[in-house]
């Protein structure tokens, strides 16, 4: 992995996809916070959101981006932990 990786992060609350430039030392928690801020325009409580990559939940958000060997353009999803009812 190069010094920085551009990741495509979809934030379902905004139905928007943003590009996050992640350094090798960036954690998944930091990635989530940055994606939420870019997509929503403000910083909601990140503890009520989770991150998925290829359908798999990223359980340890202290993990660094470099440890995952993510390619440029890798798609990730940030979504609420609890489902919201549809009326």
pTM: 0.88
Percent pLDDT > 70 in the chain is 98
pLDDT at 30: 97
pLDDT at 79: 95
From the number of C-beta atoms within 10 Å of its C-beta (0-12, 13-18, 19+), residue 35 rates as buried
Which domains are assigned to the chain? 4-80 (3.10.20.90)
pLDDT, tens digit, 9 for 90 and up, residues 8-40: 999 999 999 999 999 989 999 999 999 999 999
Contacts of residues 49-58 at CB distance under 8 Å and 24 or more positions apart, as own/partner, are 49/78, 49/79, 49/80, 49/81, 50/78, 50/79, 50/80, 50/81, 51/76, 51/77, 51/78, 52/76, 52/77, 52/79, 53/77, 58/28
Kindly state the average pLDDT of the residues 56-60: 95
pLDDT at 2: 54
């Amino acid at each position: 992995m190069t010094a920085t990786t551009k990741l495509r992060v979809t934030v379902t609350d905004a139905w928007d996809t943003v590009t996050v430039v992640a350094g090798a030392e960036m954690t998944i928690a930091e990635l989530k916070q940055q994606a939420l801020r870019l997509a929503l325009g403000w910083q909601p409580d990140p503890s009520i959101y989770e991150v998925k990559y290829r359908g798999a939940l990223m359980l340890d958000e202290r993990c660094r981006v470099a440890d995952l060997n993510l390619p440029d353009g890798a798609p990730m999803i940030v979504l609420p932990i609890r489902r919201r009812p549809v009326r």
